[in-house]
A = this chain, B = another copy of it.
Amino acid sequence: MQSYTEENYLKVIYHLSEISNPVQTNAIAERIQTKAASVTDMIKKLSEKELVNYVKYQGVTLTEKGKLTAINIVRKHRLWEVFLVDKLNFKWDEVHEVAEELEHIQSSLLIERLDEFLEFPKVDPHGDPIPDQHGNFAELAFVKLSKLSPSEKGTITGVSEHSSAFLKHLEKLGLTLGKRIEVLEVIEFDGSVALDVEQQKINISREVAKHILISKY
């Protein structure tokens, strides 16, 4: 069994792996709000436990065992987020902190029953996919809004940034999950995007567009 702290490290390494592999010590330190020296210590420990492959000065990758462990934590995190929003009426920008704690509760019976109670949701309130108990994700066809060209249409199905500031901003703009959008123009100067959302013309920065996930159909 892993400690609360080890689990947080594994999850962070898992998420960072999607950006760069192997994952660098400093990247982990920044995410986990700690010092590089502490990360090195923990990496050695996880390596001992065969949860990561570690080469000095090169960085870490998750082993199969480490990856499964990480995905299981992600599963729990996202299921709890669904519970908070669907059953307890939390807003999508209020759930992250609490789920960060709930994801560490150790009971597979609990999580399977929760999954059932929520009627086996496929995505969390931010549109992120929820893996099944074997660690498999249902394939979802996403594309970043920042990758679309003028006249392309689609539906907002997720976000890749979960800060309250970002989510509140989206809400204010009316850019919530399920909304149909069409790209009207991509401004050359700063990469910002003009959109049509329900007959309204809206402008968003490239930074914002990069974190909105669109499914085209």
Contacts and interface: CB of A to CB of B under 8 A. Distances in A.
A105 B101 contact: yes
A113 B89 CA distance: 8
Nearest to A97: B107
Interface of A is mostly: helix
B107 A98 contact: yes
A89 B112 CA distance: 11
Interface in A82-97: 84, 87-90, 94, 97
B84 A110 contact: yes
A99 to B, nearest CB: 10
A90 B106 CA distance: 15
Copies of this chain in its oligomeric complex: 2
Contacts of A102: 105
A117 B87 CA distance: 7
Contacts of A107: 97-98, 101
Contacts of A84: 110
Nearest to A87: B117
Interface in A63-103: 84, 87-90, 94, 97-98, 101-102
A109 interface: yes
A114 interface: yes
Contact of A105 (B90, B98, B114, B116): B98
A13 to B, nearest CB: 24
Q: Which of A94, A97, A110, A117 has the most CB of B within 10 A?
A: A110
Contacts of A90: 109, 113
A88 B94 CA distance: 23
20 contacts: A84-B110, A87-B117, A88-B110, A88-B113, A88-B114, A88-B116, A88-B117, A89-B113, A90-B109, A90-B113, A94-B109, A97-B107, A98-B105, A98-B107, A98-B109, A98-B110, A101-B105, A101-B106, A101-B107, A102-B105
Given A88-B116, A101-B106, 13 more contacts: A87-B117, A88-B110, A88-B113, A88-B114, A89-B113, A90-B113, A94-B109, A98-B105, A98-B107, A98-B109, A101-B105, A101-B107, A102-B105
